[in-house]
Structure 1
Amino acid sequence: MNDFLELVKSRQSDRAYDMTRDVEPEKLDRILEAARLAPSACNAQPWKFVVITDRELSIEIGKAAAGMGMNKFAKEAPVHILIVEESANITSMLGGKVKNKHFPLIDLGIAAAHITLAAESEGLGSCMVGWFDEKKMKQLAGIPEKKRLLLDITIGYSLKPKRDKVRKEKSKVVSYNKY
C-alpha cells in the first residue's frame, strides 16, 4: 500500500514537456492497458481512447487546447490521449435513469485517473485538460461530430521538478458515519 500512496503523492499535473524525447510505445501500451482495465458501471466501458503520437498532429491538437490563453503547454506535449464518451450498455443507461446519474462521466473519470497514475508509474508526466476547442480537436482526430470528446490527457517527459501537493486537510474532506 505504501508504494501506491507514494505513486499517488508523486503524480502531479505537468505543464512542461521535453519535446526532444518521444514516449516509448511499450510505455504507452501499458498506460492504455491500465485505462482499458478500469472499472465501469455495469461493465459498460463507455469510452474510446484516441491516441495522438504524430508530432505534427500533436502540435495541432495542442493548439486546439491552447485557446483563450489557457493550456499553452499542450502544444509541447508529445502525446495526447483523447477520451471520447461512447454509449453505455442498457443496464448502465437504465440504472442511470433510475438513480438520476450519468454513469459514463464517472466511468471516464476513473479511466482518466488510471491513465495519469499509469503514466506516473512509467516515469512520465501528465495533465488532464478539459478546456479545449472540441470541434477543432474532433476534426483533427477524425472523431465523429456526434460524439463527445470530454478530456485530453497530455503525456510526456516532464521538464519541471516534483512539487509539494497542496490539498485540504483530511478533516475537511473526510468524515466517518455522518456528514
Structure 2
Amino acid sequence: MFTNHSDYFYNLVQNRQSDRAYDTRPVDREVILRIIEAARLAPSACNAQPWHFIVVDEPELKNKLADAAANRVLGINHFTKQAPVHIVIVMEPANLNSNFGSFVKGKTFPLIDIGIAAEHICLAAKAEGLGSCMLGWFDEPAVKKLLDIPKSRRVPLIITLGYPASDEVRQKRRKDFNEIVSFNKY
C-alpha cells in the first residue's frame, strides 16, 4: 500500500480532518492509551511538558462536558455528545527555563507545546482509524468545575474522539502554496 514511511505519513496528514459526526462504537481503552502516549512523547520547550490530559469517556460526565462545549446561540459544537471520548488538555506550569524563555521572547511556549501535543493526538487518532476535532470554544469555568480542575489552571483545548460517521474525506480548502511560503526572505 505505502512504498515507504513518508508516504504513510503524508497520507495521514492529507486525510486527517475535523470530524463533527461520530458513530456509536465505543473506543477501546488500549487505543486511547496509545493516542495519549503519542501526546506524551510530543516535544516541548525546555522539555517542560506543560500539560495534563484528562480522558473523559464515562457517558454521563462526557455528556455534561459536551453541554459545556455547545453553544445554542452560536449554534456550535452540538456534535460533541456523539463523540464517545473527550480529551481535555490542561495547561500545567512550565519549568523555569521554559518560563524564562517565554518571558524573554514574548511567546507563550506552553501554548505552543500544547498545540504540538494536540496535533500528535489528532494524527495518532487518525492512524488508529478514529476521527477527532479540536475545540477551543467552550465554557472553561464549567469544564473546570465538572472535572475538578484547579482554578489556577487553564484549559486551552478539548479534543473529541470517535469513529467517524462517514468515511468521506472532505476536500481541503487551504490558501495557495505560493501565498504562504517563501524562501530566504518574506
Give the TM-score taking structure 1 as reference length.
0.97
2: distance between equivalents of 1:57 and 1:162? 30
- What residue is the counterpart of 1:106 in the other structure? 112
- What residue is the counterpart of 2:66 in the other structure? 62
1:23 matched to 2:27: yes
1: distance between equivalents of 2:174 and 2:11? 15
Q: 3-state SS of the aligned residue for 1:159? A: coil
1:172 matched to 2:176: no
Q: What is the identity, as a one-letter code, of the residue corresponding to 1:41?
A: A
The answer (yes or no) to whether the contact 1:59–1:77 under 8 Å persists in 2 is no
Deviations along 1:138-160, whole A, 9 cap, x unmatched? 11111112210110000001112
- What residue is the counterpart of 1:35 in the other structure? 39
- What residue is the counterpart of 2:130 in the other structure? 124
Q: What is the identity, as a one-letter code, of the residue corresponding to 1:81?
A: I
2: distance between equivalents of 1:92 and 1:167? 32
Unmatched segments (≥5 aa) in structure 2: 1-5
The answer (yes or no) to whether the contact 1:66–1:75 under 8 Å persists in 2 is no
Q: How many pairs are equivalent?
A: 178
- What residue is the counterpart of 1:7 in the other structure? 12
Give the TM-score taking structure 2 as reference length.
0.94
CA RMSD of aligned residues (A): 0.8
2: distance between equivalents of 1:64 and 1:118? 25
- What residue is the counterpart of 1:72 in the other structure? 78
Runs of 4+ in 1 over 4 A off after TM superposition: none
